[in-house]
């Protein structure tokens, strides 16, 4: 059934000053990539349509039913992925899109039980397993004849991996490891797919052999019978319970009571335990960084998916929604015309482009550095690690704030789950905590900054920290200019000054007698701020460089629009950070007033293209899954239709009227 497009939305599209498809191509990377994406989406949506009925939307289901439907859907989607794998259609480039993009943020609305099988279980076997182990496990994992997950976090330990309590003790008599979780706090807790889905699991545990602890290592443990799916002896396992989001992911707990596994179930590519129990150390302890950074880059791309969804929903809704008659005799105003609304939304559109560019850069750098690491060159690892840490932290925190801003911008209707905004927030905010808690990550970046600053004069400056050297040069001219470049320079000075100030503060505190650890702790609020400033300077510069190139290559209609978005992003963040600019650059109060006016003018310039800009993200209705954001703008119709699907509305009178309400009203309860 084709419906008419809401006329307000149609008018927006008619008035858009550029070719929407051109922008979509830029976002995807090339016309071929757009075509591939569309085919991929179509293909997976078709597989999904063979799955469970969605006559009752999942938000009406119980926790158990959400799991069951999620599993059902996932089987049909991963059937397709398996098919693609068999056909050789999966490769490093589309793998990221399929696993990261489509799965974790689009088709399976509330996450997938099989996510960790692909993102952690298989990669861990590849990275940490020997050739022999690849033979044994990888083929079975690849065809999904076993399903695995990765269990590191425990009830009592997340950030502090060294503190994990699960033990794997080698028994040379039987040539087995004995896996044990000796305390409640050592129970594994959180792994996706662990509760009721996986039958295998990589368990991270403290390795004990020859009476010595050798720190954490990874072990493959079968946890359920392959035929009956019953938990194996000594294995206590289940779902950890209802969460803010991701309720279809089957996060689980796992307790192991002296469970024995063959020696060959320890992943032995790097470190090994010989038959007699001799421990052979890994050559390099930093080789694992690669996998961790890969996951963080995938997270940044994920954020991009969520943010584009949220701004698409909120912008289209704001074009359809009319509220308040501002001028006598005129119709009510599209809320998109209110500057306060533009202030809420347009930064989200700009930020999506900034994220896209940062994520692409990070992805390229990661691949470069990975190649260098393969060749034994670890020089750029610390810089890349520091960059991935702060980008993960800032992109997740910013996206969470922007998604919530979009939701609130939709007023009451944004509170409806059918808007898809609350669910989107639930998924995004989770990323602020998993794969490195944001504050912890920013402190990692700060540690890198402190080390770099200590030797700034002599250090070989790598691309993302070159500015520290330049701006701290005594001859550097610190001036203010109302332009993107001016703001970048300002942000670089701010980051440099916050870095140097934190460094000095640390030094002063240590000289006054504090230990290094205590001085670090006392200064940590400022260190976090320094790491954030560093990240913003790097992101803005990357966004600037790439956009100038994109705009130059674009049509004369689109080019200026791309630059407007960049300028808006720069002006917005400059206004957010005027405190820093006032402290560390020669910006004046009048400059700030000008900046504010510039920002307001940019909002006005972007306004007519707002709908076109979100259309260009090209998110299909069946991926967007929002009553407020659908392409046709039938907002009120969809809200009403969705409500009709609530099982509560299937009967005119709910049973509890007879059971409780009527007796209560009659005073008989």
Residues 342-361 that bind a second copy (CB under 8 A): 343
The single residue listed with the structure tokens 């991996």 is 161
Beta-sheet pairing, 212-222 with 272-273: unpaired
Taking CB under 8 A as the rule, does residue 578 contact a second copy?
yes
Q: Which two tokens stand for residue 310?
A: 């949220």
- Output 249 or 384, the one with its CB closest to a second copy: 249
| CA separation for the pair 309, 377 (Å, rounded) | 39
Residue 592 has φ and ψ, to the nearest 5°, of -70, -40
Per CB under 8 A, which of residues 620..659 are in contact with a second copy? 636-637, 639-640, 642-649, 652-657, 659
Per CB under 8 A, which of residues 265..304 are in contact with a second copy? none
Find the shortest distance in angstroms from Cβ 1 to a second copy: 17
- Output 280 or 326, the one with its CB closest to a second copy: 326
Find the shortest distance in angstroms from Cβ 653 to a second copy: 5
Tell me which stretch binds a second copy (CB under 8 A): 359-367, 469-477, 557-565, 583-591: 583-591
Find the shortest distance in angstroms from Cβ 555 to a second copy: 30
Taking CB under 8 A as the rule, does residue 315 contact a second copy?
no
Q: Which residues pair with 180 in a beta bridge?
A: 167
Q: Which is the catalytic residue, given 59, 435, 637, 642?
A: 435
Q: Could you write out the DSSP letters of every residue in 88-110? A: T---HHHHIIIIIIIIIIIISTT
**End-to-end Cα spacing for the chain:** 49
Find the shortest distance in angstroms from Cβ 48 to a second copy: 13
Contact 178, 127 (CB under 8 A): no
- Binding to a second copy by CB under 8 A, coded x per residue (else -) over 405-424, reads ---x--xx-xxxxx---x--
Per CB under 8 A, which of residues 31..60 are in contact with a second copy? 57, 59-60
- Output 62 or 367, the one with its CB closest to a second copy: 62
Which residue in 652, 627, 638, 646 sits closest to 59, CA to CA? 646
- Output 211 or 647, the one with its CB closest to a second copy: 647
**Single residue of 525, 549, 552, 553 touching a second copy by CB under 8 A:** 525
Q: Which two tokens stand for residue 413?
A: 């209707």
Does residue 641 have an active-site annotation? no
Find the shortest distance in angstroms from Cβ 242 to a second copy: 4
Nearest 5°: the CA angle 483, 24, 543 is 25
**Single residue of 339, 549, 552, 553 touching a second copy by CB under 8 A:** 339
State how far Cα 288 lies from the chain centre. 20
Taking CB under 8 A as the rule, does residue 526 contact a second copy?
yes
Find the shortest distance in angstroms from Cβ 333 to a second copy: 9
Per CB under 8 A, which of residues 108..147 are in contact with a second copy? 143-147
Q: How many CA atoms lie within 13 A of 46 on its CB side?
A: 8
Q: How many residues bind a second copy (CB under 8 A)?
A: 132
- Output 36 or 437, the one with its CB closest to a second copy: 437
Tell me which stretch binds a second copy (CB under 8 A): 16-24, 233-241, 268-276, 558-566: 233-241
Tell me which stretch binds a second copy (CB under 8 A): 179-187, 200-208, 276-284, 453-461: 179-187
Taking CB under 8 A as the rule, does residue 187 contact a second copy?
yes
Per-residue b or e along 602-621, where b marks 16 or more CB atoms closer than 10 Å to that residue's CB = bbebbbebbbbbbbbbbbee
**Single residue of 18, 44, 67, 543 touching a second copy by CB under 8 A:** 67
**Single residue of 45, 54, 76, 216 touching a second copy by CB under 8 A:** 76
Q: What is the 3-state secondary structure (H, E, C) of 335-351?
A: HHHCHHHHHHHHHHHHH
Q: What is the 3-state secondary structure (H, E, C) of 345-398?
A: HHHHHHHHHHHHHHHHHHHHHHHHHHHHHHCCCCCCHHHHHHHHHHHHHHHHHH
The single residue listed with the structure tokens 């056909």 is 87
Q: Which two tokens stand for residue 339?
A: 């500057």
- Output 54 or 130, the one with its CB closest to a second copy: 54
Taking CB under 8 A as the rule, does residue 157 contact a second copy?
yes
Residues in the chain: 669
Find the shortest distance in angstroms from Cβ 140 to a second copy: 10
| CA separation for the pair 327, 136 (Å, rounded) | 74
E-only strand ranges, 257-351: 259-262, 272-273, 279-280
Residues labelled as active-site residues = 435
């Amino acid at each position: 059934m084709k419906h008419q497009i809401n006329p307000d939305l149609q008018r927006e599209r008619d008035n858009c000053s550029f070719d929407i498809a051109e922008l979509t191509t830029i976002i995807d990377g090339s016309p071929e990539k757009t075509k591939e994406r569309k085919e991929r989406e179509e293909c997976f949506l078709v597989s999904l349509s063979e799955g469970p009925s969605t006559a009752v939307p999942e938000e009406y289901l119980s926790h158990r039913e959400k799991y069951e439907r999620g599993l059902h859907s996932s089987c049909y989607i991963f059937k397709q992925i398996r098919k693609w794998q068999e056909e050789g259609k999966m490769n490093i480039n589309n793998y990221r899109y399929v696993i990261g993009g489509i799965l974790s943020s689009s088709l399976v609305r509330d996450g997938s039980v099989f996510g960790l099988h692909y993102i952690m279980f298989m990669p861990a076997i590849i990275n940490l397993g020997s050739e022999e182990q690849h033979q044994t496990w990888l083929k079975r994992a690849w065809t999904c004849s076993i399903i695995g997950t990765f269990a590191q976090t425990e009830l009592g330990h997340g950030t502090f991996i060294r503190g994990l309590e699960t033990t794997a003790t080698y028994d040379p008599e039987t040539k087995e490891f004995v896996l044990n979780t000796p305390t409640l706090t050592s129970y594994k807790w959180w792994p996706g797919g662990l509760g009721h889905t996986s039958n295998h699991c990589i368990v991270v545990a403290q390795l004990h052999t020859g009476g010595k602890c050798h720190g954490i290592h990874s072990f493959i443990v079968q946890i359920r019978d392959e035929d009956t799916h019953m938990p194996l002896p000594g294995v206590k396992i289940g779902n950890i319970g209802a969460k803010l989001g991701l309720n279809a992911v089957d996060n689980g707990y796992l307790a192991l009571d002296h469970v024995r596994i063959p020696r060959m179930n320890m992943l032995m590519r790097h470190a090994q335990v010989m038959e007699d129990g001799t421990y052979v150390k890994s050559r390099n302890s930093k080789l694992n960084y690669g996998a961790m950074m890969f996951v963080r880059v995938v997270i940044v791309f994920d954020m991009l998916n969520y943010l584009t969804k949220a701004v698409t929903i909120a912008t289209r809704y704001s074009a359809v929604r009319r509220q308040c008659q501002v001028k006598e005799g005129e119709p009510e105003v599209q809320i998109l015309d209110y500057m306060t609304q533009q202030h809420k939304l347009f930064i989200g559109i700009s930020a999506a482009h900034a994220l896209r560019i940062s994520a692409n850069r990070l992805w390229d750098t990661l691949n470069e550095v990975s190649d260098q690491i393969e060749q034994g060159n670890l020089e750029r690892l610390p810089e890349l690690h520091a960059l991935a840490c702060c980008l993960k932290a800032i992109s997740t925190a910013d996206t969470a704030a922007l998604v919530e801003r979009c939701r609130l911008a939709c007023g009451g209707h944004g509170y409806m789950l059918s808007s898809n905004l609350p669910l989107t927030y639930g998924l995004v905010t989770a990323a602020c905590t998993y794969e490195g808690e944001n504050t912890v990550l920013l402190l990692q970046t700060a540690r890198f900054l402190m080390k770099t600053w200590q030797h700034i004069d002599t250090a070989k400056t790598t691309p993302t920290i070159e500015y520290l050297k330049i701006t701290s040069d005594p001859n550097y001219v610190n001036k203010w200019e109302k332009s993107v470049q001016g703001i970048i320079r300002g942000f670089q000075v701010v980051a440099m000054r916050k870095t140097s100030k934190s460094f000095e503060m640390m030094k002063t505190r240590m000289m006054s007698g504090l230990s290094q650890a205590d001085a670090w702790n006392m200064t940590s609020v400022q260190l976090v701020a320094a790491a954030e400033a560093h990240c913003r300077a790097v992101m803005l510069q990357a966004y600037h460089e790439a956009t100038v190139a994109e705009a130059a290559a674009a049509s004369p209609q689109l080019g200026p629009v791309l630059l407007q978005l960049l300028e808006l992003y720069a002006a917005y963040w400059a206004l957010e950070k005027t405190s820093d600019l006032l402290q560390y650059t020669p910006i004046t109060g009048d400059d700030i007033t000008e900046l504010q006016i510039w920002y307001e003018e940019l909002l006005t310039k972007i306004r007519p293209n707002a709908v076109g800009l979100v259309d260009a993200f090209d998110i299909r209705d069946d991926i967007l899954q929002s009553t407020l954001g659908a392409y046709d703008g039938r907002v009120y119709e969809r809200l009403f239709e969705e409500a009709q699907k609530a099982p509560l509305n299937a009967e005119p009178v709910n049973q509890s009227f007879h059971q409780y309400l009527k007796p209560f009203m009659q005073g008989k309860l």
